[in-house]
Amino acid sequence: MERESYSSDLTDLEWELIEPLIPPAKTGGHPRTVDIREILNGLFYVMRTGCAWSMIPHDLPPYSTVYSYFRKWQKRQVWAKINLVLRRSLRELDGKDPLPTGAIADSQSVKTTEKRGPCMDMMVEKR
């Protein structure tokens, strides 16, 4: 029985791009029993909606499983690798060099409260 899709679910094209970048299951031990695409759908549901992990809908894998994969892949820098590969592919599709040659840094000044307590008053008087 298939479930109704959420707007955050991976499309078939997106899955084709991401699937080769997902680490394979460990050799030996208990075989992987979860559908990795559904794990990603659970992850993207949380990221898209901003809900708590424990509020993932029941038709997606259990939140503990989804969170476990998220943390494991975060520690192994799988997300950084996926981002790098997808960014390079997108730049090539746009006819650009896969590696950017420049960067722009933007900063903003934020005014904070001024120090004007008893200590500052004494310092001003001494000057």
Residue 24 domain flag: yes
- How confident is the prediction for the chain on average, in pLDDT? 87
Please compute the mean of the pLDDT values over residues 101-115 and round it to a whole number. Answer: 72
Residue 113 domain flag: no
Residues 65-106 pLDDT 10s? 999 999 999 999 999 999 999 999 999 998 988 888 887 777
**Which domain does 21 fall in, by range?**
12-93
Q: Is the pLDDT of residue 125 over 80?
A: no
At residue 116, the pLDDT reads 60
At residue 110, the pLDDT reads 64
Number of domains in the chain: 1
Residue 5 domain flag: no
Rounded to the nearest angstrom, the gap between the alpha carbon of residue 110 and the centroid of all alpha carbons in its chain is: 28
